[in-house]
Chain A
Amino acid sequence: MRGMTLIVKCITQLMAPSIFLLGIYVVLHGHLTPGGGFAGGVLMAGCFVLIVLAYGSEEARSEVRKWRASLSESIGIFIFWLLAMLGVIQGSYFFYNVIAKVNPGQPYTLFSAGIIPLCNIAIGIEVAASLFAIFITLAVLKVGEKL
């Protein structure tokens, strides 16, 4: 897969940070507005995919490492599991919303709802990394190539 023209590369340089920022916004405001970890994570993965498509797989092969995507994916789901285990550690049941019971916060503000925004962040990391890992495995790597 070759890279695209200079116009596409320039527009990608302009657009990619905004798309990534929108993804972070959707993840962080998942408990207030429509969206959440899945939608924001896919937006972030789409930003990476856009960059790889615009600059071509030859350029991407020198920068992209598959183990980084796999590692962030594993870290994301591990954080999610740890947040669920917080309730057990504290002495209650699995998925108990510990933080909301101790310090509920003001509803309709960013710092509210206990572990829900933290779970959204973990899911966002996991979804973004896993979709990007699938993309580079299917579209960038040659069959059997190790990266």
Chain B
Amino acid sequence: MLTILILFVVLMILGAIVALESKDLLSGIISLGIIGFALTIVFLVLQAPDLAIVQIVIETLTLIILIAAVLKTTREDTTEEFSARKAFLWFAGLIFIGIFLLAAVKTFQHVPKFGHPTLRMAQLYIDQGLPLTGASNLVAAIILDLRGYDTLGEATVLFTSVIGVITVLRKMGRKRT
């Protein structure tokens, strides 16, 4: 199982690099899709059908929306890069990677083995989820009853993001320039 996971994570990293580096925005978006669909298979391998369903549906719809937006506007990547700024970005990126690797090595020495969580709460959810809530899908029991505040927060985030998109693209209240 671990080999498959590593294979798909490498594929996702490659897709992310191609999406960043390609000059054509359409091919960038399509290589962005590689990340999402590989993540779907990773969720299936890890036996999380709830997440896999949400991920594959969201990824398809996001790709469609992004492709429609790109076809409506422009396909060219119009970002301008100055040499001084580029050098600074490389420098900052290398420093960040160094710090990240150091912190990761320190952290992973203390993380429990894969599949053996130390949280006692998780075992309580698995044992008492059905009697406490009556929902046979344990994920629904957790996200809507035992951890309902989180879901209210997520729904609020989605609501706020839609308000943001509509506000940026509206006509009313915009100053004439």
Chain A interface residues toward B at CB < 8 A: 1, 26, 30-36, 38-39, 42-43, 45-46, 49, 53, 66, 70, 73-74, 77, 80-81, 84, 94-95, 97, 100, 104-105, 107-108, 112-116, 119-120, 123, 126-127, 130-131, 133-135, 137-139, 141, 143-146
Contact partner, A145, options B58, B165, B171, Cβ 8 Å: B171
A–B complex contacts, Cβ < 8 Å, 13 sampled: A36-B143, A36-B144, A42-B58, A46-B64, A49-B65, A80-B152, A94-B149, A104-B134, A107-B130, A115-B144, A126-B158, A139-B65, A145-B171
Secondary structure of the A contact surface, majority rule: helix
Report whether A119 and B170 are in contact in the complex, using a CB–CB cutoff of 8 Å. no
CB–CB A130/B162 < 8 A: yes
Residues of A within 8 A of B69 (CB): 138-139
**Given B61, B152, B169, which contacts A84 in the complex, CB threshold below 8 Å?**
B152
Query: Which B residues are CB-close (under 8 A) to A66?
Result: 166
Tell me whether A114 and B151 are in contact (CB under 8 A): no
By a CB distance below 8 angstroms, the chain B residues around A95 are: 145, 148-149, 152
Q: Say yes or no: B169 contacts A143, CB within 8 Å.
A: yes
